[in-house]
């Protein structure tokens, strides 16, 4: 390996820019799920997606993630009981109440801040791996909820606005399935 080349713990240098997880190392998709009164994504002054009552989901894809991660994550998001029932308890899902979803890709969720003050993003999947998995997650969410999610644009400079309801914010990692 060339001098000055860094590889995060749990990763090995591959060919070119590609880094692959070491055998036995856990990889994960990470989602931050926020219950919102409304949320929107704007790119270059144009609306890309907008929802009323529902969920804003920020998603990070790590190298080595697969369709099973996306399927599990979609089912978990669709089934999260974080909306109030008739007694005011968080007991209903986005699917049950027919609320909307806005899903935004965000590789910065995979930041490694253990060393120094500049975050490292080497574990984030490169676009050729992340885009198809992000698209698959959107499809799996549509199947799970019965309605297509609104979305951001992968790798775009997005302005995300939201009115957090509660606030209720849940972090989900696919490696924590137990």
Residue 31 · residue 144 · CB < 8 Å: no
- Per the annotation, the verdict on 106 as an active-site residue is yes
Cα atoms found within 13 Å of the Cα of residue 93, Cβ hemisphere only: 13
Instruction: Determine which helix (DSSP H) or strand (DSSP E) holds 150, and give its type and residue range.
Output: strand 150-151
Q: Which of 27, 63, 95, 106 is catalytic?
A: 106
- Per the annotation, the verdict on 176 as an active-site residue is no
What is the CB neighbour count within 10 angstroms for residue 32? 16
Q: Which alpha helices (DSSP H) does the chain contain, by range? A: 67-79, 94-97, 127-145
What is the CB neighbour count within 10 angstroms for residue 130? 22
Q: Which of 27, 83, 95, 107 is catalytic?
A: 107
Q: Which of 108, 143, 159, 176 is catalytic?
A: 108
- Phi, psi torsion values for 30, nearest 5 degrees: -120, 135
- Per the annotation, the verdict on 107 as an active-site residue is yes
3-state secondary structure of 75: helix
Active-site residue set? 106-108
């Amino acid at each position: 390996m060339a001098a000055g080349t860094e590889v995060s713990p749990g990763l090995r240098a591959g060919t070119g820019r590609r880094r692959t997880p070491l055998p036995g190392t856990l990889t994960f998709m990470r989602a931050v799920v926020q219950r919102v009164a409304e949320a929107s994504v704007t790119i270059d002054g144009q609306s890309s997606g907008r929802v009323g009552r529902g969920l804003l989901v920020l998603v990070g894809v790590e190298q080595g993630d697969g369709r099973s991660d996306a399927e599990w994550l979609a089912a978990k998001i669709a089934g999260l009981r974080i909306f109030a029932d008739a007694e005011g308890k968080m007991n209903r899902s986005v699917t049950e109440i027919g609320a909307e979803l806005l899903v935004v890709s965000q590789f910065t969720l995979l930041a490694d801040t253990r060393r120094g003050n500049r975050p490292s993003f080497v574990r984030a999947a490169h676009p050729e791996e992340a885009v198809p998995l992000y698209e698959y997650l959107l499809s799996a969410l549509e199947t799970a909820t019965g309605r297509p999610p609104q979305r951001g644009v992968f790798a775009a400079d997005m302005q995300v606005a939201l009115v957090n309801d509660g606030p209720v914010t849940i972090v989900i990692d696919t490696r924590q399935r137990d």
